[in-house]
Amino acid sequence: MVSFGDAYAESWWKRANQLFEAFDMKAIYYVNADLVLQKGQKHYIDQLFRKGNIIGHHSCSHQFARTYKGDYIKGA
């Protein structure tokens, strides 16, 4: 498993995606959704998804999941 934290598109889009495509591989990309949106990189995520990759959510705050309380994990 590879996790791409902090939305560095040069890591997961420009490097990893090109390598995976060269070998006709699909991947699970865990990305920080807040930073992807802030940096205007959603179009990269959309393309990865359309090509059959899975997009997972890399937490924004790195909060320990066992400490979640109330509505913290409800979708935005």
What is the structure's pLDDT at 29? Answer: 82
Residue 5 has pLDDT above 60, yes or no: no
Q: What percent of the chain has pLDDT over 70?
A: 67
Q: How confident is the model at residue 64 (pLDDT cuts 50, 70, 90)?
A: low
- Note if the pTM is more than 0.85: no
In the chain, where are the structural domains located?
5-67
Q: Rounded distance, CA 48 to CA 51, Å?
A: 5
- Average per-residue pLDDT in the chain? 76
Using alpha carbons, list the distances in angstroms from residue 28 to 22, 50, 56, 67, 68: 16, 13, 7, 25, 24
Residue 43, burial from CB neighbour count under 10 angstroms (0-12, 13-18, 19+): exposed
What is the structure's pLDDT at 76? Answer: 47
Residue 53 has pLDDT above 80, yes or no: yes
